Each structure stands twice: as structure tokens, then as C-alpha cells.
Amino acid sequence: MGEIIDLKGMLKELDESVRDELKSTPEVVDSGKTLDISKLPIEARRWLKVSGVLAVVADLKGSTKLGTGKHAASTASIYEAGTGNVVKIFNRFGADFIAIQGDGAFALFWGESNFERAMCAAITIRTFSDEFSKRLETKWPDSPLTGFKVGVAEGRLLVKRVGTPRNPNEQEPVWAGKAVNYAAKAAQTADRNQVIVTGCVWDMVEKNDYLAISCGCPDGPSLNIWNNIEVNNLPDGEPEAQGRLLVAGWCDTHGAEFCQAIMDGKKKRDDVSHLRAEVLKSQFGNVVTEKARRARELRHVGPR
């Protein structure tokens, strides 16, 4: 005999809680650009609103093909060596919230230098993923090709702890807002070992020479490390969909220096002033991307 489930009673109770929830508007408290996650309410019907959050999603390509049959050992190693190390990278760059999700992980960054920390984490995952994929291919040549697809987005989020009151093991912060969803869509649009940033993240990247312009190996600094890309499956006309795709990881020679410069808040390089204006024009400027840029500027006039 299984446990007695009062299904009818349960559904009635669930419906009543939905009805009560919809009867009144939950309180939304503006937390500004930062958040103390340990103070999230669980029972109170109070959501916190935090602005300018960077979301980074790292998805393992082809994970649905990783079997648990004769390939169980390789699957287990790929998850452990993959997702485990992505979480390590997020931690190293001071992610403010990290969650492991099925075949990948996502992190949120808010507060001081959150853009810099998020971008450095994203590029580090991309660089790590290159070597990770190579090692897997050497060890298991028959395994499906895998590697991390990385997406970055920015925006305002609402958060509340949802779950069973008095049992912290059954509570999770729930994040509502476009940033996490858009970062996931950007990651899905990417191929393995690529980073895609949405529109307003690009608007910040282009203001930083260390991110927007290559170090110069081997033919001198250039803009060709970023390409235009449209993020799939965002609403029609969404200006965030006009994103950019980063095709390079950290350089063996200059990566450490560039990463440190970005983390130190540096933005301008003396050697590339002639290229700075080109970032705005050249390969990026076309009718579609310029229209999206103007739409984002208008959207961001108010607080976000």
C-alpha cells in the first residue's frame, strides 16, 4: 500500500493559494544595484528588485547525447570536469549567485565591477572550454563533440526565496526578469567554445579597449574578434537580440595582463586609439544594429 494521497484536497488547496496570491499585489522593494542574498524573505510576500545584474550562462553542448550506458564513465567525467570547473571559475571572479542547472551552470553578478567580473568569467570559461574539449576528444574520440556555449545578458531582476518555510534545504531563490532568460538564449545560439553577449552588454564592451579590441597577436590589434549575431528566439524587434559573438579566448601571451587590467577597472589602451572609433562603425554598423542601438539608448534613459 502506498501513502494515501488526497489529490482532490491537494488541488483545491493549490488553487486557493493561487487565488489568494492573485487577490493582492505582492510588495516589491527596490534594492538598488546590490543585494544581500542571505536576507531574502521566504514567507513574506515581498520581492526584491535589483538593477543592472549581469547574468552568465554556460551550457554544455550536446549533453543530451552523453549516454549513461556504455559511455557512463565518460559522461560522469565530462560533467565533473566540466560543470565543476565552470563553478570554480564563477567563484574565482566573485559571482554573487551560482546555480547548477542540468547540463551547465549560471551565475549572477551585481554590485561593484560586476560587468568586469562577469566578462572575465565568461571569457575564462570560453578559454577553458577549448582545452577541455581537446582533452575529451583525445581520451574519448568516439564521444559526441562537446564544450561550453556561453551567453551574457544584463538587466533588472526580481528575486524571492521560494520553497518550504523553515526548511532551508527546500528553498531556492527564484529570479524573475529577462537577464537570465536572455543569457540562456544567447548561450543556446552560441556554438561550443563561443561567447555571445546581448545588445546592452555589447554597449558596455565597446567602451572597453581591453574587451573590444584584440591584443594584437599575431598581426596587430584588430576588431575582428567580435562579429554581429542575432540571438535566436527572442521576441520580434527586441533590441537586445542584436548581440555580438566573441570568437577568441584569452591570448596565451597577453591574456593574464588583459584580464588583470579589466579587473583593475582599466578601459583605455594607448596603442589602439586609432581603432576606437572603428569599433562603432566598421563591421558592426548596419541598419539593423544601429536601429537596435538607438532603441536600447531610449530604453536606458530611465533607471534599470
Residues that bind Zn ion (CB under 5 A): 215, 217, 251, 253-254
Shortest distance, position 248 Cβ to Zn ion, whole Å: 9
Shortest distance, position 217 Cβ to Zn ion, whole Å: 3
Q: How does 233-249 read in b/e, with b if 16+ C-beta sit within 10 Å?
A: ebeeebbbbbbbbbebb
Sign of the alpha-carbon torsion through 26, 29, 32, 38: negative
Shortest distance, position 131 Cβ to Zn ion, whole Å: 17
Shortest distance, position 215 Cβ to Zn ion, whole Å: 3
Residue labelled with grid coordinates 574565482:
92
The 8-class DSSP code of residue 252 comes to T
Residue labelled with grid coordinates 549516454:
67
Q: Is 189 exposed, middle or buried (0-12, 13-18, 19+ CB in 10 A)?
A: buried
Strands 97-101 and 46-60: unpaired
* Residue closer to Zn ion (CB basis): 10 or 217: 217
Residue labelled with grid coordinates 527546500:
170
Report the half-sphere exposure of 224 (CA within 13 A, side-chain side): 7
**Which are the contacts of 224, defined by CB distance < 8 A and separation ≥ 6?**
214, 247, 283
* Residue closer to Zn ion (CB basis): 253 or 282: 253
Alpha-helix runs per DSSP H in the chain: 7-23, 72-92, 114-139, 178-189, 199-205, 209-212, 255-263, 273-280, 287-299
Does the N-terminal peptide bond of residue 41 adopt cis geometry, omega within 30 degrees of 0? no
For 14, the 3-state DSSP assignment is helix
Shortest distance, position 259 Cβ to Zn ion, whole Å: 12
* Residue closer to Zn ion (CB basis): 142 or 252: 252
The 8-class DSSP code of residue 99 comes to E
Query: Could you give the CA distance from residue 161 to residue 46 in angstroms, rounded to a whole number?
Result: 9
Helix 255-263 and helix 114-139, axial crossing angle in degrees, nearest 10: 150
Shortest distance, position 256 Cβ to Zn ion, whole Å: 10
Residue-level length of the chain: 304
Shortest distance, position 199 Cβ to Zn ion, whole Å: 28
- CB-CB contact of 70 with 83 (8 Å): no
Shortest distance, position 214 Cβ to Zn ion, whole Å: 7
